[in-house]
Amino acid sequence: MTGLRIGGPAPDFTLRDQFGQDVTLSSYRGKKAVVLFFYPFAFSGVCTGEMAGIRDRLDEFMTFETEALAISCDPMFALRAFADSDGINFPLLSDFWPHGEVARAYDVFDERHGAARRSSYIVDKSGHVRWSVHNANADGRDLDEHLRELSAALV
C-alpha cells in the first residue's frame, strides 16, 4: 500500500499517450481538475463501451476547468490502434513500462492479470485526491456519478 488517501496528494506521473506525447499529471495543477480512468485492457468489451461512453460525452468531461485521462497497462501502439478503431479522441495513457508503475502508485494494479483494475480517481486543481471509486472488472462505471464528482471538485 502506498498510503493513498482521499484528501492526500495524488501521485504524480508522466506517461505517453496514444500519439507518443508525454502527459504529466502535475502539469494540470492550478489549472484543471482531472478524472483518471484506470481500465484493464484496450479492445475488451466493457472497456470499449466505457471509452466510447466517455468519447460521446467528452464535452462534459473535458472543459476549461476539467480534463479526462484514461490509463491502462497496454503498450502505446495498442492504444493508438484502439483509439483509431473507436474514434477515441482523448488521452489514452500507457502504463506499460515499468509495467503498471502508475497503477501500483494508485493501489489499482492487479498482479494476477498484469493490468489495472477498473478504478477512477478525481484529482482537484491543487493536486489532491478528492474522490475514488473501484468497480469490478465486469461492471462498467456510472459516468453520471463521475461527472457529479468532477464538478464537486471544482468548488
**Per-residue CA distances from 103 to 6, 59, 72, 147 (Å):** 16, 26, 8, 22
User: How many C-beta atoms surround the C-beta of residue 155 within 10 A?
Assistant: 7
Query: Residue 86: helix, strand or coil by DSSP?
Result: helix
Give the helix ranges, DSSP H, for the chain.
Answer: 45-56, 58-61, 76-86, 101-105, 143-152
- At position 111, the amino acid (one-letter code) is E
- At position 52, the amino acid (one-letter code) is A
HSE (side-chain half, CA atoms, 13 Å) at 117: 17
d(CA 32, CA 26): 10
**Is 73 annotated in the active site?**
no
Write out the three cell numbers for 145: 456519478
User: Which DSSP symbol is given to 9?
Assistant: B
Active-site residue identified among 23, 47, 88, 129: 47
Active site (catalytic) residues: 47
